[in-house]
Structure 1
Amino acid sequence: MPSFDAIIIGTGQAGSPLAGRLTAAGMKVAIIERNLFGGTCVNTGCTPTKTLVASAYAAHLARRAADYGVVLDGPVKIDMKKVKARADAVSGASRDGIGNWLGGMENCTVFRGHARFLDAKRVQVGDEVLTAGKIFINVGGRAILPEIPGLADVPHLTNSTILDLDAVPEHLLILGGSYIGLEFAQIYRRFGAKVTVFEPGPHLIRREDEDISQAVSDILTAEGIDIVVSAVNLAVAKAANGGIAVSHDGSNGLKTVTGSHLLVATGRRPNTDDLDADKAGIALDAHGTIIVDDALKTNVDGIWALGDCNGKGAFTHTAYNDFEIVAANLLDNDPRRVSDRIPVYALYIDPPLGRVGLTETEAKKTGKNILVSTRPMTRVSRAIEKGETQGFMKVVADADSGEILGAALLGTGCDEAVHSLIDVMYAKRPFEQVRRGVHIHPTVSELLPTLLAEFRPA
């Protein structure tokens, strides 16, 4: 029975760097991977999808070339096989880099196979039984297939399998109007597909304020994407023409839309159902999420959970921060906690949405005296010069303390500009200090001081 100081299950964005820190500290580490090195981000998440976003943006900009005085001969054409090959190459290089790094890491042994707990100290991988005093779970998550009548009887795609397409769908139907669904909606519309999005809620990306959701909807519909909100009682069936039919209760009765391909983007769940976590006594919630404390410890001494499987944030940046928290507590005598983290994320449609902290709706529920400031991107010089003036910026603050509570920046460059506010929030400085700052012209960020000078009571 091979014995190690630590076992890491999964090579995602928390597991791999943790192996680096633990081995550097002199520990003997086993890391287990049953599928592809790098986890969701590298293989089916950020890396391939943002590569597709870049190709879609190039196609969109080429179609708009005349707006900039650039003349192109003939219509823009998409070679989807080359688009896919490019995305595969970018993901493959990152995946190979992680695999080579782990394979050459001193004091680290890589095991390929499916890990299952035998008890709180032993993990089985194939015919091998490994033992360690510390075990770190980084098993990630996968797409949820909702209980929709007829879904099991028709071919359907998830965020993973849609990456296998090497031809543009004629008409892509998408169930789910949030981050994954909307990014693929714009990608494939820009590649030339007809796209229809079905969202059961009253507006897109339900966690956002309604004005942000409406602005996102306006951007997408302007590109020819059909969006159906309040799409309740969804059902799926094979269409007479060989396609796929999605029906729902509309305002005037049952509506049916027929397409060639169906993408299910209705959420994700952790990969814990085949981990045999119960044999180690690890507590899970009703959704299969591993329950952890503020330092990412499970209820079992010597076992931690990091990344998507712990329910503390299904993002690459939160998974990597999970690694930092665990390493700081174990190796650096630095008591870092998940509760110190400010929620940050982005929606990578074009233009992107950068988000930090509370929404306006959430801020109002705190009982604080709330200030709000907004500015349309039509009043941002950088956006005007680029010819990309869609969206607007909004910041929410506490009138009494001057603390910035949250921001939603929707517009060109806003996934980068939002970091100015993120840094101020982590530094716990009042917005007045940003307002007095001098930023570079012409940038999107230069309008943040102006935005913070125009607060009004919410």
Structure 2
Amino acid sequence: MASSIMDSEHFEVLILGSGEAGKYLSWTLGSEGKRVALVERRYIGGSCPNIACLPSKNIIHSAKVAWYARRLNEFGMKLPEPGVDMGVVRERKRAMVRALIDVHNKRFASNHVEFICGEGVFVGPRAISVALQQGGSRVLTADTVIVSTGSRATVSDTPGLRASEPMTHVEELELDTLPEHLIVLGAGYIGLEFAQAMARFGSKVTVIDRNSRCLAHEDEDVITELTRMLSADGVAFKFDSAVESVSGRSGSAVEVRISNPDGKESLKATHLLVATGRTPNTEGIGLERAGIDLTDTGHIKVDASLKTTAEGVFAVGDCAGSPNFTHIAYDDYRIVYDELKGGRRVTTGRQVPYVLFTDPELAHIGLHEDDAKRRKISYRLTKLPMAAVLRTRTLGETEGFLKALIGDDDRILGFTALGAGAGELLAPVQLAMSAGLPYTALRDLIVTHPTLTEGLVYLFSSLGQK
């Protein structure tokens, strides 16, 4: 091993994994003239453009079109009964992915990043051996190493589950036939998004979760309304249900046995999707040989600047325990870049906005009302039905509501939107919160009518004039 390191190629920066933070660090540092190498074993650009964020939203949008197609008479259109060709749905997604990969390849080339396709394993401090896809190997060393290996879907040791060859989000995105009956294990972000999409395409869908409701961290009024909406789309729920065993094979016939307060039950379906959490990709890459410690959850141990326990090594994104969102990984890139430039940005106290891309969307930033009550934080609540945002009436999508928590100093403590275009409403509220502005800054804006953003004026006006 020592001789192989002696024969190594040296770079200024070496990045393992081409996810959001890793690729932006490579592009930025490469454009500045640094000698940068990036090692990627499979997905060019990471999971987001290939198997996660963007492909799933592509499928979700196709499902919304299918939903619109069933409402054609409502819009005065008289067309034959619509049907769904999952092969076409898949090809639309694949075409988008191919275009995104082409964009990534061009950016790696234009920023002078040496992109290496292969499996990277640490063989010593800041030293990685790469088994190349085309055969052979290379040993790479660097002044700075950044680990950006991401995470994968968790598949538990439940008896029979792995033998049933269940789908994760990766396989779900490649379906070319419509499941007759899909069972989804997990009522989190991925589970709910796919459950609604497949129900809208025409599948029978059952969601099983061990908790008493969806998304346990959300406010009760939000989850009550969201669950009602998903149920109206045909999604059935089995809450407080533990999966005891699985038999059969996903894709043909599968049986899931559960237990809940009502007793034991057996559910039969054609397909099974596992969406019960994420596991960091930190196993089997030789971290111990590089002096990189892990946390009890298997994530790479980092400080507030994303430095690991090994000198000159950073970890970013999912593998470092950052919230599992692409936009947070992008902020990880900014933190590490600033650190390399002698600045000081940290993960402590940063905003963590998020959107559940069901239809309608659920968006949130800041404090939840249930948390405020539990922590005895004083607040004023303002709430507005989406039907009062007049743009929703033109769309025929009036379900949901907006809500915000206002502190004693008139600053916004938290904001939640459940409704059409909810995700697009986050940024103005975030800006006000990050700048420490009072809610009146949004209330007093002149906002174009009729837009969804105009709803923020209505929401904050309902607190009264001050």
Query: How high is the TM-score relative to the length of structure 2?
Result: 0.93
Q: The residue matched to 1:118 in structure 2 has which SS?
A: strand
Spell out, residue by residue over 1:147-190, the C-alpha distance to the aligned partner (whole angstroms, 9 max, x if none).
32221231310011112211111100000001100110111111
Q: 2:124 aligns with which of 119, 127, 142?
A: 119
Q: The residue matched to 2:345 in structure 1 has which SS?
A: coil
What is the one-letter code of the residue matched to 1:51? Answer: N
- Write the distance in 2 (CA, Å) between the matches of 1:203 and 1:184: 17
Residue 88 in structure 1 maps to residue 88 in structure 2: no
What is the one-letter code of the residue matched to 2:82? Answer: V
Whether contact under 8 Å (1:9, 1:15) holds in the other structure is yes
Spell out, residue by residue over 1:32-82, the C-alpha distance to the aligned partner (whole angstroms, 9 max, x if none).
01112011101111111111011111110111111122222x211111111
Whether contact under 8 Å (1:203, 1:210) holds in the other structure is no
Spell out, residue by residue over 1:11-31, the C-alpha distance to the aligned partner (whole angstroms, 9 max, x if none).
111111111211223211111
- Write the distance in 1 (CA, Å) between the matches of 2:163 and 2:375: 46
Whether contact under 8 Å (2:243, 2:256) holds in the other structure is no
Residue 46 in structure 1 maps to residue 53 in structure 2: yes
Whether contact under 8 Å (1:354, 1:414) holds in the other structure is yes
- Write the distance in 1 (CA, Å) between the matches of 2:244 and 2:116: 43
Query: How high is the TM-score relative to the length of structure 1?
Result: 0.95
Q: 1:164 aligns with which of 165, 171, 174?
A: 174
User: Bigger shift: 75-84 or 22-31?
Assistant: 22-31
Structure 1: gaps of 5 or more residues: none
Q: The residue matched to 1:114 in structure 2 has which SS?
A: strand
Whether contact under 8 Å (2:300, 2:308) holds in the other structure is yes
- Write the distance in 2 (CA, Å) between the matches of 1:148 and 1:455: 50
Residue 409 in structure 1 maps to residue 420 in structure 2: no
Whether contact under 8 Å (1:3, 1:130) holds in the other structure is yes
Deviation at 1:387, TM superposition (A): 0.8
Deviation at 1:245, TM superposition (A): 1.4
- Write the distance in 2 (CA, Å) between the matches of 1:324 and 1:84: 34
Residue 292 in structure 1 maps to residue 302 in structure 2: yes
Deviation at 1:300, TM superposition (A): 1.5
Spell out, residue by residue over 1:397-422, the C-alpha distance to the aligned partner (whole angstroms, 9 max, x if none).
21x22221111100001110122111
Deviation at 1:438, TM superposition (A): 2.0
What is the one-letter code of the residue matched to 1:374? Answer: K
Q: The residue matched to 2:384 in structure 1 has which SS?
A: strand
Alignment of structure 1 residues 19-58 onto 2, 5 Å: 19-58=26-65
Q: The residue matched to 2:124 in structure 1 has which SS?
A: coil
- Write the distance in 2 (CA, Å) between the matches of 1:152 and 1:325: 38
- Write the distance in 1 (CA, Å) between the matches of 2:365 and 2:458: 19
Q: CA RMSD in A?
A: 1.7
What is the one-letter code of the residue matched to 1:99? Answer: N
Report the counterpart of residue 130 of structure 1 in structure 2: 140
Alignment of structure 1 residues 382-397 onto 2, 5 Å: 382-397=391-406
Identity of aligned residues (%): 35
Q: The residue matched to 1:301 in structure 2 has which SS?
A: coil
Report the counterpart of residue 134 of structure 2 in structure 1: none
Whether contact under 8 Å (1:374, 1:392) holds in the other structure is yes
Residue 451 in structure 1 maps to residue 462 in structure 2: no
Residue 357 in structure 1 maps to residue 366 in structure 2: yes
What is the one-letter code of the residue matched to 1:56? Answer: A
What is the one-letter code of the residue matched to 1:422? Answer: Q
Deviation at 1:449, TM superposition (A): 2.3
4+ residue runs of structure 1 moved beyond 4 angstroms? none
Q: The residue matched to 2:13 in structure 1 has which SS?
A: strand
- Write the distance in 1 (CA, Å) between the matches of 2:273 and 2:82: 25
Deviation at 1:103, TM superposition (A): 3.4
Q: 2:194 aligns with which of 180, 184, 189?
A: 184
Go from structure 1 to structure 2 and tell me whether the alpha carbon gap of 1:233 and 1:80 turns closer, same or farther (over 3 Å shift).
closer
Go from structure 1 to structure 2 and tell me whether the alpha carbon gap of 1:147 and 1:370 turns closer, same or farther (over 3 Å shift).
farther
Spell out, residue by residue over 1:355-411, the C-alpha distance to the aligned partner (whole angstroms, 9 max, x if none).
11121122234432122121122222111221111111111121x222211111000
Alignment of structure 1 residues 432-447 onto 2, 5 Å: 432-447=440-455
Q: 1:69 aligns with which of 57, 70, 76?
A: 76
Q: The residue matched to 1:180 in structure 2 has which SS?
A: helix
Report the counterpart of residue 59 of structure 1 in structure 2: 66
- Write the distance in 1 (CA, Å) between the matches of 2:364 and 2:215: 12
Report the counterpart of residue 315 of structure 2 in structure 1: 305
Go from structure 1 to structure 2 and tell me whether the alpha carbon gap of 1:384 and 1:95 turns closer, same or farther (over 3 Å shift).
same
